[in-house]
Amino acid sequence: MENEAHIQSRSRIQDYEPIVGRSNIEELRMLAEVLGGKIVQNINSTFVGGGVAEILEHMVPLFNQLGVDARWDVVHGNEEFFEVTKKFHNAIHGGDEKISAEDFALFSKVTQQNLEELRFYGDILIIHDPQPVGLIAKKKEIGRKWVWRCHIDASNPDKRVWKFLRGFVVDYDAAIFSAPSFAQQLPIRQFLITPSIDPLSDKNKELDSGTIDSVLTKYGLTSDKPMIVQISRFDRLKDPLGVIEAFEMVKKSIDCQLVLAGGTATDDPESEEVLEEVRKRAEGNHDIHILLISPGSDIEINALQRAATVVMQKSLKEGFGLTISEALWKAKPVIATAVGGIPLQIRNKLTGVLCYSVEGAAYALRQLLSNPEYANQLGKNGKEHVRQNFLITNHIKDYLLMFIALAQPSDIIYL
Amino acid sequence: MLDWLSENWLYIAVPLLVYLASYIVGLWVRRIAYRAFDRWAAKGKWEGNPLVVQATRTPFLAWFMILGAYLAVRVSILDTSTKALADKVLVALFIISVTWVAASLSEKLLRLYIGKVKRLQPSEALIVNITRITIAVVGALILLDALGAPTTPIILFLAAAVFIAALVSRDLLTNFFSGFQLVQGEQIKVGDFIRLESGEGGYVTAVTWRTTQIRGLDGNLILVPNSRLLQSTVINYGRPLKKASEPFRFYARLHLKEVTGLKACNLTELVDTLKKVPGSVIYYHTHNFLEEYQYLTPEPANDFALWVNDELGNEVLGEKLASIDTFGFPTIAALRARIIGVIEDYLSKNPDGRTAPLGREFHFIRSISVILPTPYIAHDLREFIEVLRKVSTDSISFHVFEARLRLQKGVNDFSIWIEDCLGDKDLADKLAYLDPYNYTLEGLRSTIIQLVEKRIK
C-alpha cells in the first residue's frame, strides 16, 4: 500500500505575489534558505478528505518550491482503528464517549504496526492529530525534532483520553495548537499556528458567473431567493440540525433557501449516519437542499459559497473551521458560533457575526438578510482579515519560523 | 634560356625600369604632397590631420607601386589575355587597399569625434561597426563591378538581407534608436534616480545602445530595454541626494506565537500573571491587535483592555487600560508597570468582579521575533523612500515598534539613521515624534514617506 504522497504543484509560489505582496514572498524565500536541505516529514491519517489533508495537499508542493524538502506520509489502520480515533476525536472535543480498554489496546496495536511499516526519514517530523501520535516512540531510536500538530479543539478534553494521549505528547519537542484556548499545561513548547486556505486552489479561486450558474443548475438551486449555505462534512459537531432549525425560524418572515453541503472523510465512519438524520429532518421542505459533495468537487463548493447570501458555520465544537476563512475570502458575511478557532477568524460585528444558540443564529440571519450593506461591509473586512492572517503563505511562514525557533530557544532570534 | 635572355633582355628590362621609375616617382610625389598637406593642415589645426597622414602614408606608396605594375604590364610583351588578367588583379588590389584605407580612416575619425561627444559614447562600438560594414560592402560591390561580375542580383540580395535582418532584429533596432533618443534628448542620464511603472527603481549606472542599467534598491543590476523606457511612464528624480555616512539596512521582523499555557479568569489572576510573564508576552498583547487587525482601525487597543471589556464586561477598567499610551513608554518594563498599576488601582477601590466564562479566559501568549536582513539598503533619502514603498509591513513594524520598545532604543530606527548618518536632526525629530500607534501600518508607511518626500523636494 502506498504510504507517501506524490503531489504535483498546482500553483507557483510567485503566483501569490499579487495577493500577499512581493515582499512577503521574498521573506518566505529568505526563511526557507536558512533551513537549507532539511527534510520535513508530515504524517497524518488520510490523503483525502478533511482540513488536514487539504492543507497538506497545497502546502507540501509550495514548501518544495521554496527549497524545503517537505513530504507527506499516512498511517494505516482498519475500520475499527478509525472508529477508535473518531472516539478520541470526539473525546478531545469534550464529547462523552465510551472508550474501553480494548479500544486503547487496539490503538496501541495499530500504532505499533505503523511504527514497523513507516519509514522515518525527516529531519523534522510533524505528526498531525491523534491518529499517528504514538509514532513518537520512534524518537528514542532515531532522535531528530518531533512536533505534534493538534488540529482539534482541545480546550476541554475528556480527561481519560487526554491522559492517554498526553503520555505520547510530552515526548515531543513541541506541540502546535490552532487557538490559545486549545493549549494545555505541557512540559514542552506550544506554538500557536492557525491553519490556512489556499487562495489559488479550486475551492477559493475566482469563478466566472457561468460556472456558478451551472453548479446551481446541477443541484436544482435558484438564485432568485437569498441562499444560506453551510459547507461542512456531515458531523453532529457541525450541528446541521441546529442550522435547519434556525433557518425555519427565519423562513417565517423572509423567503430564503438553505443549502447544507458536505462530504465524508475516510477517517470518519459516523458521517453517513448523520447524513441520513439530516435528510430525514429536512424531508418535505423544498427550500432545504442537502447536497452530498464528492471529494474533489472543490469548484462546486467554491461556486456554492460564492452564490451564498450568507454563510453559516454553526459548529458545536470546532478545530478551526476553515470553511469560515473560505467564505470570508469570498467576501461573504458569515454567522458562526464562538467555539474553537472561530473567534480568531470572526471578530464579532467586525469581520462577521458570532452566535451562541439557534435563536442567536436566527436573529443574526434576519439582520444580515435585511441589511445587505452591513453584510457587505462585514464581508469586505473579513476578506482583509483572511488576507492578513489565514492564507497559506502565512501558514508556511509560521512553520518556517517554528523550525527556526526549535533550533534557537530565544525570544529574539537574529538570522 | 641564357641565349633567350641575351637576345631579348629589353623585354624584361623595360617593364622593370618602368616599375622602378613609378616607385621613385611615387616616393617623390608622396614627399611633395605630404609636405604641402602638412603646411595646409598646420593652418587649420584640425585634430584629424595626423590620422589622415597615418592612415594614407603607407598605402599612398602602395598605390604608385600598383600603378607601376600596371604600366610595366602594359609595356611588356605578355599576351593580351595575360595582360587582361594582370589588369584585373591590379584593379582588385587597388580597390581593396582603398577600401581598407577608407574603413581605417573612418574608424579613426569617428572615434576621435565620439570621444568628444559624451552622449554618443555608449553607442561608439555600434557606430564604428556599422560604418566599417557599410564601407566594406560598398568596396566589395565596386570590386565586383570592376571585375565584370553582375552586381544587380547581389545588391538585391543584400537589400533583402538587410530587410530581413531589420525585421528579425527589430527589437534591437527599436532599442538602439530609443537609446539614441534617450541619450540625445538627455532624458535619462547616468546618476539619475528613476522609478519605472513596475515599481522597480534605482540609480542609472549606464545607458548603452540596447539597455539602460539601473542599480536596484536590493543592490542587483536591472537592465531595462531602452524601448521599454521610452514607452512606459518613468519618474526621473534627477541627481543623487546627500549620501549617508553609513547606509541603512532594512530588516524584517517576523513573529511566531508561543503559548505559555498560563491563563487568567479574573482581574486578580490577570494582574498576578502579568507580574511574572516575560516581556515578550507584554509586547505581544500590546501590539497584537495592531498587526492582526491593521486594516480595521487606526487606533488599536491592547489585548488586556479588550478582554476586560468584552469578557469581564468591565467597561470602566477597559477604557482605562485602552487609554494607556504605549508610545509614552520607552521600555516594556515601564509599560508593564503601568498596566499593573492601573489594574491594581482599580482593584484597591473595587471588588474583583466577574469571572470570564469557560473558554473565554485570557491566554498569555509570547511573541518570538525572528529578525532577518532584507536585501534592501538605502544610501540616501531617495533610496530610503523607494525602499520603504517596497518592504513588507513586517519591516516597518521592526524598525518603528520593535526597535523602539523591545530593543529599548527609545526611538525608531529611521530617526536614528537620519540624524546620525545624514545629519538631518529636523527630519529625524519629526519622525521620532510621530506616534505610530495612531496609524495602521500602511498608513504609517504613507505618512513617513510623505514626511521624507516633503523634506527632499
Query: By the 8 A CB rule, do B127 and B114 touch?
Result: yes
Mean pLDDT for chain A?
Answer: 91
Please report residues of A whose CB lies closer than 8 A to that of B374. Answer: 23, 26-27, 30
Q: How confident is the model at residue A269 (pLDDT cuts 50, 70, 90)?
A: low
Give the mean pLDDT of B262-291.
Answer: 93
What pLDDT is attached to residue A311?
A: 97
Residue A133 resides in a domain: yes
Predicted ipTM?
Answer: 0.86
> B-side interface with A, Cβ within 8 Å?
252, 254-259, 261, 278-280, 291-296, 358-359, 361, 363, 365-375, 390-392, 394-395, 406-407
Give the mean pLDDT of B136-156.
Answer: 84
- At residue B315, does pLDDT exceed 70? yes
Question: Which chain B residue has its CA at the smallest distance from A317's CA?
Answer: B359
Please report residues of B whose CB lies closer than 8 A to that of A377. Answer: none
What pLDDT is attached to residue A126?
A: 97
Of A156, A381, A397, the CB nearest to B254: A397
Residue A37 resides in a domain: yes
Q: Do residues A329 and A398 share a domain? A: no
Residue A159 resides in a domain: yes
What pLDDT is attached to residue A188?
A: 95
State the Cα–Cα distance between residues B39 and B89, nearest whole angstrom.
36
- At residue A146, does pLDDT exceed 70? yes
Please report residues of B whose CB lies closer than 8 A to that of A30. Answer: 372, 374
Please report residues of B whose CB lies closer than 8 A to that of A184. Answer: 261
Q: How buried is residue A111: exposed, middle or buried, by Cβ count under 10 Å (0-12/13-18/19+)?
A: buried
* Model pLDDT for residues A179-221, shown as the tens digit of each residue: 888 888 899 999 999 999 999 999 999 999 999 999 999 998 9
B7 CB-near residues (< 8 Å, 6+ apart): none
Question: With an 8 Å Cβ cutoff, are A23 and B367 in contact?
Answer: no
Q: How confident is the model at residue A294 (pLDDT cuts 50, 70, 90)?
A: confident
Give the mean pLDDT of B336-365.
Answer: 92
- At residue A267, does pLDDT exceed 60? no
Q: Do residues A17 and A158 share a domain? A: yes
| Pick among 2.40.30.30, 2.30.30.60, 1.10.1740.10, 3.40.190.10: CATH of B184-238 | 2.30.30.60
Q: How buried is residue B323: exposed, middle or buried, by Cβ count under 10 Å (0-12/13-18/19+)?
A: exposed
Q: Do residues A381 and A402 share a domain? A: no
Q: Do residues A331 and A257 share a domain? A: yes
Give the mean pLDDT of B58-62.
Answer: 86
Q: Do residues A96 and A191 share a domain? A: yes
Give the mean pLDDT of B315-332.
Answer: 92
As given in the structure block, the three cell numbers for residue A336 are: 458562526
- At residue A9, does pLDDT exceed 70? no
Distance from CA of B277 to the nearest CA of A (A): 12
What pLDDT is attached to residue A328?
A: 97
What pLDDT is attached to residue A10?
A: 72
What pLDDT is attached to residue B433?
A: 92
- At residue B434, does pLDDT exceed 70? yes
State the Cα–Cα distance between residues B199 and A17, nearest whole angstrom.
14
What pLDDT is attached to residue B233?
A: 82
Give the mean pLDDT of B157-170.
Answer: 80
Of B256, B291, B292, the CB nearest to A405: B256
Percent of chain B past pLDDT 90, that is, above it, reads 35
What pLDDT is attached to residue A5?
A: 61
Q: How confident is the model at residue B204 (pLDDT cuts 50, 70, 90)?
A: confident
> A-side interface with B, Cβ within 8 Å?
21-24, 26-27, 30-31, 34, 155-156, 177, 180-181, 183-186, 189-193, 339, 347, 350-351, 381, 384-385, 388-389, 397-398, 401-402, 404-405, 410-415
Q: Do residues A382 and A396 share a domain? A: no
Adjacent-strand bridge partners of A175: A148, A190
Question: With an 8 Å Cβ cutoff, are B295 and A24 in contact?
Answer: no
* 3-state SS assignment for residue B389: helix
Give the mean pLDDT of A20-31.
Answer: 92
Question: With an 8 Å Cβ cutoff, are B370 and A401 in contact?
Answer: yes
Q: Do residues A397 and A361 share a domain? A: no
**B59 CB neighbour count, 10 Å cutoff:** 16
Q: How confident is the model at residue B184 (pLDDT cuts 50, 70, 90)?
A: low
B326 CB-near residues (< 8 Å, 6+ apart): B286, B287, B302, B335, B405, B437
Strand A39-44's sheet: what is its strand order? A69-74, A39-44, A124-128, A145-150, A174-177, A189-192, B248-264, B362-378, A412-414
Task: Tell the residue number behind the cell numbers 478533511, with chain if given.
Answer: A50
Give the mean pLDDT of A83-97.
Answer: 86
Give the mean pLDDT of B217-231.
Answer: 82
Distance from CA of A135 to the nearest CA of B (A): 24
Q: Do residues A218 and A362 share a domain? A: yes
State the Cα–Cα distance between residues A82 and B158, nearest whole angstrom.
80
What pLDDT is attached to residue A118?
A: 93
- At residue A1, does pLDDT exceed 60? no
Least confident of A82-96, A112-126, B260-274: A82-96
CA-CA distances (angstroms) from residue B332 to A130, B406, B411? 39, 6, 13
φ/ψ of B161, rounded to 5, equals -65, -40
* 3-state SS assignment for residue A35: helix
Q: Do residues A118 and A169 share a domain? A: yes
φ/ψ of B244, rounded to 5, equals -75, 150
**Structural domain total, chain A:** 2
What is the domain range of residue A291? 209-389
Domain boundaries, given as residue ranges, for chain B: 2-168, 184-238, 248-456
What pLDDT is attached to residue B200?
A: 79
- At residue B177, does pLDDT exceed 80? no
Q: How many CB pairs under 8 A join A and B?
A: 112
What pLDDT is attached to residue A155?
A: 83
CATH number at residue A220: 3.40.50.2000
> Residues for chain B: how many in total?
457
* Model pLDDT for residues A346-386, shown as the tens digit of each residue: 988 889 999 999 999 999 999 999 999 999 999 999 999 99
> Residues for chain A: how many in total?
415
Q: How confident is the model at residue B337 (pLDDT cuts 50, 70, 90)?
A: very high
What pLDDT is attached to residue A2?
A: 53
Closest CA to A257 of A306, A224, A280: A224
Question: With an 8 Å Cβ cutoff, are A192 and B365 in contact?
Answer: yes
State the Cα–Cα distance between residues A308 and A329, nearest whole angstrom.
13
Q: In which element (H, E) is residue A310 found?
A: strand A310-313
Question: With an 8 Å Cβ cutoff, are A23 and B390 in contact?
Answer: yes
Question: With an 8 Å Cβ cutoff, are B392 and A404 in contact?
Answer: no
Q: Which residue has the higher pLDDT, B189 or B92?
A: B92
What pLDDT is attached to residue A181?
A: 86
Question: With an 8 Å Cβ cutoff, are A388 and B295 in contact?
Answer: yes
How does B194-216 read in b/e, with b if 16+ C-beta sit within 10 Å? bbbeeebbbbbeebbbbbbbbbb
* Model pLDDT for residues B83-135, shown as the tens digit of each residue: 888 888 988 999 999 999 999 888 888 888 887 776 667 677 878 888 888 89
CA-CA distances (angstroms) from residue B247 to A321, B242, B243, B252, B383? 46, 12, 8, 16, 10
State the Cα–Cα distance between residues B397 and B381, nearest whole angstrom.
19
- At residue B299, does pLDDT exceed 70? no
Find which of A299-308, B89-98, B235-244 is predicted with most confidence, using mean pLDDT.
A299-308
Query: By the 8 A CB rule, do A310 and A334 touch?
Result: yes
CA-CA distances (angstroms) from residue A331 to A390, B154, B256? 14, 69, 27
Adjacent-strand bridge partners of B369: A412, B255
Q: Do residues A294 and A165 share a domain? A: no
Question: With an 8 Å Cβ cutoff, are B294 and A388 in contact?
Answer: yes
Q: In which element (H, E) is residue A148 found?
A: strand A145-150
